[in-house]
Amino acid sequence: MASKNRFLVRNPEKGDLNQYWYSKGTIEALVLEVVEFGGEGTAFLSTPSIYFSTPAEIRQKCKVFDIDTAWKKDPGFVYFDFNKLDDVPADLHGTFAMVVIDPPFIMREVWEAYAMATAARLLLQPGGKILATTIAENEELMAELLDVKPCVFKPSIPHLVYQYKLYTNYDSPNLNQRNPEIPEDHDGA
Ligand SMILES: C[S@@+](CC[C@H](N)C(=O)[O-])C[C@H]1O[C@@H](n2cnc3c(N)ncnc32)[C@H](O)[C@@H]1O
């Protein structure tokens, strides 16, 4: 039997926090991306499944920013409410090589919060990498706020009704390929 993802097994999704986890296969693909491009330090903004699935030697240089205190004992956990960006610790500003973002909502106001203080611009080093997921209809918004473009690879989020796209501000050979988890008629490729 194929091995299970420990994070997915241990953390049932909480509806009140809009928790929709990526599939095991998508987690594995995004972890590879972090290992390749964010190994010097990645901020996982509302993307705990990727943080907790990243190899320990890299994870120790990373932080997971989330409102769910279930993970507060983890040394990389930073309590984060996108409505309270002033609370992001100053010593973390501008320190990350990469940010990985999947907010609990898809609307403009929420993406403005994640982009602005963002988490991305606030936490990211100059020239840092951005990897974000949201709906296809947000393509223009994502370009405007974060200067990111959609990849061929689309994430699988099994309990979400929308098919998300994955957006980056850099070219990634791995993400230039279809995700075999997504049926071609949903893929638009
Ligand atoms: C749609 S899920 C994204 C999870 C991601 N797909 C993954 O597999 O790791 C939204 C995430 O935002 C977190 N969240 C909910 N409300 C939040 C808030 N006000 N500020 C920051 N994070 C929040 C949830 O706990 C959850 O981890």
Q: What's the CATH code of the domain at 174? A: 3.40.50.150
Whole domain around residue 179: which residue ranges? 39-187
CA–centroid distance, residue 96 to ligand 1 (Å): 19
Question: Contact 181/25 with Cβ under 8 angstroms?
Answer: yes
Residue nearest to atom 8 of ligand 1 (CA): 21
DSSP 118: I
Q: Greater confidence, 185 or 59?
A: 59
Question: Contact 102/51 with Cβ under 8 angstroms?
Answer: no
Residue 63 in domain: yes
Residue 16 in domain: no
- C-alpha count within 13 angstroms, C-beta hemisphere, residue 146: 36
Question: Contact 26/49 with Cβ under 8 angstroms?
Answer: no
Residue 11 in domain: no
Q: What digits encode the pLDDT tens for the residues 46-69?
A: 999 999 999 999 999 999 999 999
Residue 2 pLDDT more than 80? Answer: no
Residue nearest to atom 5 of ligand 1 (CA): 47
- Provide the number of structural domains found in the chain: 1
Residue 24 in domain: no
Q: What digits encode the pLDDT tens for the residues 121-171?
A: 689 999 999 999 999 999 999 999 999 999 999 999 999 999 999 999 999
Q: Which amino acid is at 121?
A: R
Residue 117 pLDDT more than 70? Answer: no
Residue 105 in domain: yes
Q: Given ligand 1 and candidates 44, 67, 88, which is best to mutate, with the most ligand atoms within 8 Å of its CB?
A: 67
Residue 10 pLDDT more than 70? Answer: yes
pLDDT for 189 equals 47
pLDDT for 122 equals 86
Q: Which ligand 1 atom lies nearest to the CA of residue 44?
A: 9
Indicate whether residue 150 lines ligand 1 (CB < 6 A).
no
**Terminus-to-terminus CA distance in the chain, angstroms?**
31
Residue 7 in domain: no
Phi, psi of 138 (to 5 degrees): -90, 10
List Cα–Cα distances, 123 to 9, 52, 90, 95, 179, in angstroms: 30, 19, 9, 6, 29
Residue 102 in domain: yes
Residue 34 in domain: no
